[in-house]
Structure formats: structure tokens, C-alpha cells
Amino acid sequence: MALDLFSPVKLGGIALKNRMVMAPLTRNRAGAGGVPQALNVTYYAQRASAGLIISEATPISAMAHGYPALPGIYTDEQVAGWKKVTDAVHAEGGKIVLQLWHVGRISHPSLLPNDAQPVAPSAITPNGKAFTYQGLVDYVQPRALDVSELPGIVADYVHATKSAISAGFDGVEIHAANGYLLDQFLRDGTNKREDHYGGNIENRTRLLLEVTKAVVTVAGADKVGIRISPVNPFNDMKDSNPQALFNYVVDVLNQFNLAYLHVVEGGIHGGGIADPFDFSALRKHCQSPYIANLAYDKARGNAVIASGHADAVAYGVPFIANPDLVKRFSTNAALNEADSSTFYGGTEHGYTDYPFLGA
């Protein structure tokens, strides 16, 4: 029998009832102190029919923040807030992993402790505007991290992973995509370092491997996924040879036997035109289960699973507007239209009030 979106699958140690993954979706609706609140519990529980929910990107430390009203995963209060989310998802028969996030240079002093300067591999100011509590403002020049600071970054990932386990998550996903800190180290448009964390591909991959090794040691490899975006230009990102870089990244990640590799197959967020890239070739390097992500519909999702290109498919905007997306796909029902004006920040409107089938 041919596999499709509705076939069960195991991603490492995480058993999924179907292959429809809810992609990580920043919604800027956490409570005070970055603590998930009742509204967030409702939102995630509504979408628990997904085979797997990947949480919104979640800062691993106070210095990892880059946007207003984000939930964190580094204080006891945040852990307690997330525990209510995971309990609610599990009560509905769902699985949920937490996405570990450090934004690096995509931040602003007003979002950081003591108006700190954002950090990055190199002191290169991104083009664009920071989204702050005061509105859109110009990005500032980040401070290049000293080599002596990198073990502390790794330690923050370890602490966040332990916190995620305490909060009841089924695993964690390391966010190494979309122009944030680990992606900034990987790509040579943002990494101009001259030490052993910069220069050649092996050096630029070093921090990701150190983080992965540390997170795997805490959580177990079969509970850890990684997200990459080889050619996404979002957040002013570029690399001179993305195919060679990310083929290498996947080759060296194979040593960990990770739960999955989650790949953004192109550009998102209107960040410009993505460079050409052979994702089929990348897939051949990957020995872990593979989650494909980017503007998939039901037909394309079924096709890439049937062909073996992907083991699961991540859906973003469709899950925002359709908490029962799995049922709608399985019955060929019409989809709710997403209201993009309510994506970021706000109330339950455009968050928990999208109708279910038959409502």
C-alpha cells in the first residue's frame, strides 16, 4: 500500500499518527516574562491532530530574543507555562517538540537585557528593520562573539533542552535556519571570522556540531531534530556555495542519527529570490527521516511522501487558519482563509477563533 500524509511514521523515537507536521510559527502572544498563557494552551491543543507539532521558535536565554511577546524556555515560570501546553496537547493525543532559538544579530538593544548589543559571528549589520515594542526600527550593528563566549552559548542550549524535557516536550528541534544565530555561523555572507569558527565550511559548521552534540547528550539523538534553510534569503542571508555547504552539513549531522532533518526548500517571508539548489541531491545525503517544508498542499505532500523524497511534510499558514487541517485534508473539505493581519501579536482573534469543520 502506498504511503501518504495519513500514514503513521516514526521520527527517531517519536511515533506520529500521521505525517502532517505543524511547522514552527511565531505568533507573539506570550504572557509577561515570556511565559506561555491560557490562550497559548488553547491554540496548541486545538491543533493536536497534527502528527507532530513543532512549537513556535523559543528563545533559549534572555540574550536570544529578537521580537516582542515571545515565550522563552529558560526560567521556571516559562517551564511551568509550557507544561500546561504539552499536557493539553498530550491529552488530545498529540505530539509536540520545542524549537530551540537564538536570533543572533536579528534583534535590537530594546529587546535585550540592559540594552545589550545583539551578538553575531561577525559585526555585520543586517539590512531591514527590527520588530520592537516601539514598532519597526533600524537594526544596529551586532557585536562579534569572542571565542571564549561560545561555550556559554552551547551551555544555554543545554539548559534550554533540560527545561524543555522538564516541560514535557516529546523532543526538541535545533533552529539552524532562516538567518538566525546558527545559520549566521554557517553561511559566509554573515560569517567573516578568521578563527576556527570561520573561513572554510568545516569551521563554519563547528558551532552547530557543538550545539548538536551537547543537545543530543541531554535529550538523546532520537528526540532531536534540526531545521536548516540552505537558500532562504530572509534576514539578509547569502552563501557563496550553498550546495557544498549544506551537503557537508547533512553529511556531518548523519553521525548523530537524529530524529529528523527539517528542510525549508527555498525562500520564505518575501525575503528575496532564493538561489538555485538541488534539494533532491541534499536528500540523498540525509540518513535521518526528512521533513519537507515550503508551500506544500495536499497533493504535493502526498506526492513527495509516495516518492520517498520526504518522510513527513510541514505546513505553516494552513495550520494557522485550520486547526483541524488533518481532517480537512482527509475529507477534501474546503480550507479556512488565513488573515495575515492577525499573524503576529494580538488576542484570540486570528489565533484560536478559526472555525472547525461543522462548527
| Amino acid, single-letter form, for residue 285 | H
The three cell numbers locating residue 250: 547533512
What region does 160 belong to: left with phi over 0, alpha with psi -120 to 50, or beta? Answer: alpha
Q: How much is the pLDDT for 83?
A: 99
For residue 242, which of 204, 200, 183, 187 has the smallest C-alpha distance? Answer: 187
Q: Where are the domains of the chain?
A: 9-342
Q: How much is the pLDDT for 274?
A: 85
Which residue in the block uniquely carries the three cell numbers 520526504?
310
**pLDDT tens string for the chain (359 positions)?**
789 999 999 999 999 999 999 999 999 999 999 999 999 999 999 999 999 999 999 999 999 999 999 999 999 999 999 999 999 999 999 999 999 999 999 999 999 999 999 999 999 999 999 999 999 999 999 999 999 999 999 999 999 999 999 999 999 999 999 999 999 999 999 999 999 999 999 999 999 999 999 999 999 999 999 999 999 999 999 999 999 999 999 999 999 999 999 999 999 876 678 899 999 999 999 999 999 999 999 999 999 999 999 999 999 999 999 999 999 999 999 999 999 999 999 999 999 999 999 87
d(CA 335, CA 356): 10
Q: How much is the pLDDT for 273?
A: 81
The answer to whether 300 touches 52, Cβ cutoff 8 Å, is: no
The three cell numbers locating residue 216: 543530543
**Which of the residues are catalytic?**
180
Q: How much is the pLDDT for 272?
A: 73
The three cell numbers locating residue 187: 553561511
The answer to whether 130 touches 66, Cβ cutoff 8 Å, is: yes
SS (H, E, C) the chain: CCCCCCCCEEECCEEECCCEEECCCCCCCCCHHHCCCHHHHHHHHHCCCCCEEEEEEEECCHHHCCCCCCCCCCCHHHHHHHHHHHHHHHHCCCCEEEEEECCCCCCCHHHCHHHCCCEECCCCCCCCEEEECCEEEECCCCEECCHHHHHHHHHHHHHHHHHHHHCCCCCEEEEECCCCHHHHHHCCCCCCCCCCCCCCHHHHCHHHHHHHHHHHHHHCHHHEEEEECCCCCCCCCCCCCHHHHHHHHHHHHHHHCCCEEEEECCCCCCCCCCCCCCHHHHHHHCCCCEEEECCCCHHHHHHHHHHCCCCEEEECHHHHHCCCHHHHHHHCCCCCCCCHHHCCCCCCCCCCCCCCCCC
| 9, 13, 15, 19 alpha-carbon torsion, rounded to 10° | -40
Right CATH for 9-342 from 3.20.20.70, 1.10.3720.10, 3.40.50.720, 3.90.550.10: 3.20.20.70
d(CA 46, CA 34): 21
pTM of the full structure: 0.98
Q: How much is the pLDDT for 198?
A: 98
Q: How much is the pLDDT for 204?
A: 98
The bridge status of strand 129-132 relative to strand 119-120 is: unpaired
